[in-house]
A and B are shown apart, each in its own frame.
Chain A
């Protein structure tokens, strides 16, 4: 009897071992699949998230709301200071407003002189942040806009003021926004008064690095940084932030977008210009088709 039981036990154990091996194999092949065909694996992941996350909104909303209320309560503690600060800022803003109005009038006059036609305005679609990336090593968020709303991979995401990141992974009802601070984010930018080109590369801190600046002498802390539009992913001249010089003697960017209190974001609809595929069409006028037979006449002579 005891021997029989022992046999049973061994049998179950070996089955378990085989299943364990199968699971191991499955996981390994999943990892390899993810590594080799990354876009497709990420697409599958986003479709899973797309099924699950929007259903969790009812549970997420109250908790998110409570955390915000707690934060608001904390800010009551220094309401007087804040009030003073706001008054000071308001005073400064009034001065700036005056300057802006004057500049706007001047700009209108100049545009009128040039008879300039402005490009059609970029249109914007707003969405709500659903979830965080959940990992300390990935800086991204899921928003409630997807294919249904016509979202396309690569479009820029902004808060009211500055660039936040770009769409990477679109599901039916949701899509993922990879932030500029993610360590995989690389964005071509222009540093404004000097028009130096640089690459803004995230490194998991709130101050992404400005890489590949041609001449750092021309860059001052406080310079405005905007997207350059190189590479055709982002439209040019979206505000990114200001240059700062950190103690390790590198230029970094203080982003204008506020990641701390992010609830909504705006996705900029943008269709990049047609790519130039034929280099020879660029130079000279379009020639009639007879000239293509030129080598033949050459041979006759």
Chain B
């Protein structure tokens, strides 16, 4: 069991990187060059936090950092600011991983959404403190709402279509 898991890890990692490249790609396509009032949900955050809770070996921090730094470079954002916030959020999720194993979905949903909100607030303060023009607060609220709403959908796809599940309570090896 554990060998097959390890075997598939790099495959999942490759898929994750390709998926994020796809997201960047869709952001960059010039569908419409008019300003859109509503931001898109951060689907990738949902995927990454769901994976951290379920299969943390797929998403080591360097992959998260690499992907989000790529986002920063390609989407004309301040370099590194959002990546730092996401890495911090990922670290918090990772260190509290054990709590999710016993608690139901609702707790997980609430917790990840709150972490995302916290990351947004930290980023906003960070940018404001360093006198970088910040995105309008209202659109960040929408980004939070959309991302929180997207989480159950992403979770559904991950659990029932990709069949990545939490390790059951008894099924722990020495890797924890």
A interface with B by C-beta (< 8 Å):
2, 5, 9, 16, 19-20, 23-24, 27-28, 30-31, 33-35, 41, 45, 48-49, 52-53, 56, 59-60, 63-64, 67, 129-141, 179, 181, 183-184, 204-206, 259-260, 262
Residues B80 and A259 in contact, CB atoms below 8 Å apart: no
Interchain residue pairs with CB less than 8 A apart (12) = A16-B61, A20-B87, A23-B65, A28-B84, A30-B80, A31-B130, A131-B30, A141-B30, A181-B35, A204-B136, A259-B33, A262-B33
Chain B residues within an 8 Å CB radius of A63: 29
Taking the closest CB of chain A, its distance from the CB of B20, in whole angstroms, is 13
| In contact, B34 and A24 (Cβ under 8 angstroms) | no
Do B84 and A27 have beta carbons less than 8 Å apart? yes
Known contacts A132-B28, A260-B34; decide if A137 and B135 are in contact (CB<8 Å). Answer: yes
Q: Which listed residue (A23, A34, A56, A67) contacts B31, Cβ 8 A?
A: A67
Q: B133 near A184 (CB under 8 angstroms)?
A: yes
Bound form: Cα–Cα A130–B28 in Å? 9
Secondary structure class of chain B's binding surface, majority of residues: loop
Residues in A whose Cβ lies below 8 Å from that of B30 = 60, 64, 129-132, 141, 262
Question: Which label, helix, strand, loop or mixed, suits the secondary structure of the A interface?
Answer: helix
Q: Per-residue 0/1 for B16-41: is the Cβ within 8 Å of any A Cβ (1 yes, 0 no)?
A: 00000000110111111111111110
- Segment of B67-75, B96-104, B110-118 in the binding face: B67-75
Cross-chain contact A136 with B35 (CB below 8 angstroms): yes
Take A28-B80, A183-B133, A259-B34 as given contacts and tell me if A131 and B91 are in contact as well, using a CB distance cutoff of 8 Å.
Answer: no
Q: Is the CB of B76 within 8 A of A30?
A: no
Contact between chains at B39 and A134 (CB < 8 Å) = no
A129 to B58, CA, bound (A): 37
Contact of B33 among A23, A56, A260 (CB under 8 A): A260
Min CB gap B39→A, angstroms: 5
Q: Given the complex of chains A and B, what is the CA–CA distance between A27 and B36 in angstroms? A: 29
B141 on the A face (CB < 8 A): no
Residues 47-77 of B, flagged 1 when their CB comes within 8 A of A and 0 if not, give: 0000000000000111001000100011111
Chain B residues near A (Cβ < 8 Å):
24-25, 27-40, 60-62, 65, 69, 73-81, 83-84, 87, 91, 130, 132-133, 135-136, 139, 174-175
A43 → B minimal CB distance (Å) = 12
Q: Are A45 and B73 in contact (CB under 8 A)?
A: yes
Q: Which residue of A lies closest to B68 (CB)?
A: A27
For residue A266, give the distance in angstroms from its CB to the closest CB of chain B: 15
Pick from A24, A52, A130, A179 the residue with the most CB of B within 10 Å.
A24
- Tell me whether A136 and B31 are in contact in the complex, defined as CB-CB below 8 angstroms, given that A19-B62, A30-B79 are known contacts: no
Q: A260 contacts which chain B residues (CB < 8 A)?
A: 32-34
Give Cα A56 to B26, complex, Å.
Answer: 12
Quick check: B61 and A20 within 8 Å, CB to CB? yes
